[in-house]
A and B are shown apart, each in its own frame.
Chain A
Amino acid sequence: MTNNSFLGRLFDGCNYVFLTLLGIATLLPFVYVVVSSFSNSTDLIPTSFSFDAYAYIFSTATFPRSMLVSVYITIVGTAIHLVLASLMAYALSHTALPGRSIIMLLVVFTMIFNGGMIPTYFVVEGVGLTDTLWALMIPNALSAFNLIILKSFFQSIPNELKESAKMDGAHEIRVLTQIVLPLSLPALAALGLFHAVGLWNQYFNAILYINDSSKWPVQVLLRQVVILSQGAVGESGGEVASDSVMLSQGIKMAVIVVSIVPIMLVYPFLQKHFAKGVLLGSVKG
């Protein structure tokens, strides 16, 4: 599509400049937050260098604990998601299964209608999950969207492969764990990573379902430290304002940095897999 007319080249030039600026603009806030978290000066442009902010936040009781809570719910929650989704998607990938289309319909319907916050809260409370870490893992353990992607991925595996294994006397469990799952690793990796990011980032469920502050995941603490302590007017009520009013900007920035480190660690893997795993599934529908 190269077009060597003057206008075409002008367009190309502007496009490159614009996209470069856009890339810089996206990264700039990050870079600033990271750089100033290593500085204990209050100047606009950080001049000194220190680990003070990091030393401080890891010396508190609350921050390391909430990081642990987040790590725990992310790992266990992702495992639950993958097991549930694989089992259900595998069964639903059998087009001849009686009742399959009804179940699919009921699953898809949850994409366009839900009971809403209050009835859902009562269900979560009713089954005894409130104030436990399960409340952060179970109520969103599956989504219709992920299920459909995984199901279509499973369906793309040649049927002959599964049939021949069954001929050899393999049980459904064996077909699933030894043939289907190993062949679906890209999809599992992509969906698992996405779900993990969602678990790590979840904030509102914790506000809704967890009152016990020792079970707060890192996002709730982050809001206490970075947003509420800014003296935002009138945000009172449910959540206790912490004693963090005096925290310096550097400490707030350090808290943000530490909370996004896990995301930055998995990002290269996400990058690698999402195109392969997710687009394949979603484009095929």
Chain B
Amino acid sequence: MKKEVMQTERQALPFAMEKKPLWLRMWKERWLYLFLLPGVLYFAIFKYLPMGGVAMAFQNYQPYLGFLQSEWVGFAHFERFFGEPQFWMLLRNTLYIAFLDVLVFFPLTIVLSMLLNEVRREWFKRSIQTFVYVPHFLSWVVVVGITYLFLEGENGVINVLLTSLGREPVAFLTSEDWFRPLIIMQMIWKDAGWGTIIFLAALSGVSPVLYESAKMDGANRFRQLWHITLPSIKSVIVILLILRLGNFLDLGFEQIFLMLNALNREVGEVFDTYVYVVGMRQGQFSYSAAVGLFKSLVGLVLVMGANQLAKKFGEEGLY
């Protein structure tokens, strides 16, 4: 009998500690709250205040009047945007470049990781990795700058080469036909190597036993790739794909901004560059904030949609 009482007491003890009033528990951790303060202030000011600022998309925002005094116009800016012929051009260009990213760049990183994973000589693998990671750390200005040095007008290396071979120089940088291929080529050069890192980590986690038994069953290299390697990294592929879709519409903004000029605008202008030109250069703050908000919402819908789809196919998804 006594034993039982003691036991309940012992169980009750930690429970009682949990039950301390909230303010007491918070007071005990006051230093931790002090630690949190700068970071929380940062997120409040530079992340959440701008989220509140999207209200200007529903106003005729005048900086000297502020939010409270500016006139509210409801969805007028959105209606104007959807009516503009530019809307379709922007949507088409943005989706086109984003799809190039997901359908060309993304599968390439997977293929590259699997090829690297097949290499048995560690030193070889590591030196190739060292080389292909480097461009990731260069700025877009440098990447676009190198592109210009190679492809520009008549002085670019490639065109000097072409003319010395008796061919006509090609206007790579000012042609609509070359814009998208150049964009995707730059993406691949800069980030394809870098994109392999997480896949390689996932691949190194695949149990060798699986390969052994597949070999026993007479599977050749390609069947092993198809039946073991790919399924093993499927969940990583799905998660990275969702994350990429999340940035879907943010992708390569600096890159595109730097590659744009008057002659390729028709195929190159995307939501973000349009927001910059209309908002910062022409000063139509509310209108371009509306465009920006539309873009963010499309992005949000895409992530959530992709996540739902992933769950439907029996994957974990992001949340």
* A residues at B contact (CB < 8 Å): 1-3, 5, 7-8, 11-12, 15-16, 18-20, 22-23, 26-27, 29-30, 32-33, 44, 84-85, 87-88, 90-92, 94, 96-99, 103, 106-107, 110-124, 127, 138-142, 147, 171-173, 176, 197, 200-204, 208, 219, 222-223, 226-227, 230-235, 237-238, 249, 252-253, 256, 259-260, 263, 267, 270-271, 274-275, 279, 282-283
Q: When the two chains form their complex, are residues B220 and A7 in contact, meaning their CB atoms are under 8 A apart?
A: yes
Q: Top 7 nearest A-B pairs by Cβ distance? A: A115-B50, A234-B262, A119-B53, A88-B39, A116-B292, A201-B139, A226-B145
> Which B residues are CB-close (under 8 A) to A16?
119, 124
Q: When the two chains form their complex, are residues A122 and B53 in contact, meaning their CB atoms are under 8 A apart?
A: yes
| Chain A residue at minimum C-beta to C-beta distance from B289 | A118
Q: When the two chains form their complex, are residues A94 and B29 in contact, meaning their CB atoms are under 8 A apart?
A: yes
Q: When the two chains form their complex, are residues A226 and B149 in contact, meaning their CB atoms are under 8 A apart?
A: yes
17 A-B residue pairings within 8 Å (CB atoms): A12-B118, A16-B124, A19-B128, A23-B127, A90-B32, A97-B29, A98-B29, A103-B36, A115-B54, A122-B50, A201-B137, A232-B261, A233-B261, A234-B261, A237-B281, A249-B155, A256-B142
Q: When the two chains form their complex, are residues A98 and B263 in contact, meaning their CB atoms are under 8 A apart?
A: no
B215 contacts A by Cβ under 8 Å: yes
- Known A98-B29, A173-B31, A222-B141; 8 more pairs at CB < 8 Å: A44-B160, A116-B50, A117-B292, A118-B280, A197-B137, A201-B139, A238-B281, A252-B149
> Which B residues are CB-close (under 8 A) to A113?
51, 296, 299-300
B76 contacts A by Cβ under 8 Å: no
Our pick among A3, A202, A282 for the contact of B198 (Cβ within 8 Å) is A282
| Chain B residue at minimum C-beta to C-beta distance from A119 | B53
| Bound-state Cα–Cα, A20 to B253, Å | 31
Our pick among A19, A117, A124 for the contact of B276 (Cβ within 8 Å) is A117
Our pick among B25, B36, B149 for the contact of A87 (Cβ within 8 Å) is B36
| Bound-state Cα–Cα, A279 to B205, Å | 13
> Which A residues are CB-close (under 8 A) to B130?
271
Which of the segments B5-13, B41-49, B78-86, B92-100 contacts the partner chain? B41-49
B195 contacts A by Cβ under 8 Å: no
In B36-78, which residues have CB < 8 Å from any A CB? 36, 38-40, 42-43, 45-54, 56, 63
Q: When the two chains form their complex, are residues B221 and A11 in contact, meaning their CB atoms are under 8 A apart?
A: yes
B269 contacts A by Cβ under 8 Å: no
| Bound-state Cα–Cα, A24 to B268, Å | 30
Q: When the two chains form their complex, are residues B141 and A114 in contact, meaning their CB atoms are under 8 A apart?
A: no
| Bound-state Cα–Cα, A263 to B279, Å | 33
| Bound-state Cα–Cα, A260 to B139, Å | 9
Interface string of B116-128 (1 = CB under 8 A from A): 1011100010011
How many chain B residues touch A (CB < 8 A): the figure is: 99
Q: When the two chains form their complex, are residues B201 and A279 in contact, meaning their CB atoms are under 8 A apart?
A: yes
In B99-135, which residues have CB < 8 Å from any A CB? 112, 115-116, 118-120, 124, 127-128, 130-135
> Which A residues are CB-close (under 8 A) to B139?
200-203, 219, 222, 259
Q: When the two chains form their complex, are residues A29 and B146 in contact, meaning their CB atoms are under 8 A apart?
A: yes
CB distance from A22 to the nearest CB of B (A): 7
Q: When the two chains form their complex, are residues A27 and B131 in contact, meaning their CB atoms are under 8 A apart?
A: yes
Q: When the two chains form their complex, are residues A118 and B56 in contact, meaning their CB atoms are under 8 A apart?
A: yes
> Which A residues are CB-close (under 8 A) to B127?
23
> Which A residues are CB-close (under 8 A) to B131?
23, 26-27
| Bound-state Cα–Cα, A64 to B41, Å | 35
> Which B residues are CB-close (under 8 A) to A121?
279-280
Q: When the two chains form their complex, are residues B261 and A123 in contact, meaning their CB atoms are under 8 A apart?
A: no
| Chain B residue at minimum C-beta to C-beta distance from A175 | B31
CB distance from B175 to the nearest CB of A (A): 11
